[in-house]
Amino acid sequence: MVTVIWGAVLVVIKADRVIPPEWNPLAPLNVTEPVTLFTNWRLDRALATPAACLAALNTAGRFDVMDDFEASNTCHIRTRVDLAGVGQVLINPVETTCAIALRMAMWEQHSLQPAATEILDTTVTGIDHIGSYNCRRIRSASGSSNRWSTHATAEAIDIAGFQFADGTRSRLLDDWDANDARARFQRAARNGACDWFQLTLSPDYNRLHADHFHVQSRGWGLCR
Ligand SMILES: [Zn+2]
């Protein structure tokens, strides 16, 4: 009996030393680790509590933690951070939720940088956004809706373009339809956003999104 227990303990200790954290479903999320079958599960766990989210964001984000902002029942920023960068990328400081910041960090690390290297032979140094928190209702192509926007709780951010290490910029409005390498990068950026956010709307969705990606930290997986 003692031998059996010792055997089990040894196996656990050995497994703990051999399995890299990205293959350990119980290891806290580190943004910089390679993506595995367990990454999405670990991301969900990181998003489950404010403390876990901030700890995960700490592995790749430049940010200050702020007190929750409560304007009303429908308009607030909970687990609020002042985000100034993710990975190698600088961001014009924006107050948003930890969930949006963490998803942006995953997007930068695992989608934007690989796509920039492969398609443009450079690195992304900046993400241009046009805001996260906005206490307003949903806008649609046919007008305003009664439902509150995810911007009202900073569970969304609008991305207008990117800056690169060679000093160039790419705006969605200029390059989405260009049929060149920048347009291919923007498609790759949109498709990558669909992997890391819960809902992604690009210029393909409707004319309201001609100049930005709208990405959300909650939703049903719409990717267009
Ligand atoms: Zn938006």
C-alpha of residue 197 to centroid of ligand 1, in Å: 13
C-alpha of residue 30 to centroid of ligand 1, in Å: 27
C-alpha of residue 94 to centroid of ligand 1, in Å: 14
> Any idea where the domains of the chain sit in the sequence?
62-216
Residue 185, C-beta contacts closer than 8 angstroms, at least 6 positions apart: 115, 116, 119, 120, 162, 170
pTM summary value? 0.91
Q: What digits encode the pLDDT tens for the residues 26-55? A: 999 999 999 999 999 999 999 999 999 999
Averaged pLDDT, groups of 10, the chain, 224 residues long: 46 64 94 97 97 98 97 97 98 98 98 98 98 93 85 98 96 95 98 98 93 96 93
- Residue 159: count of CB within 10 angstroms of its CB: 23
C-alpha of residue 134 to centroid of ligand 1, in Å: 9
Q: What is the mean pLDDT of the chain?
A: 92
Cα separation, 174 vs 212, whole angstroms: 11
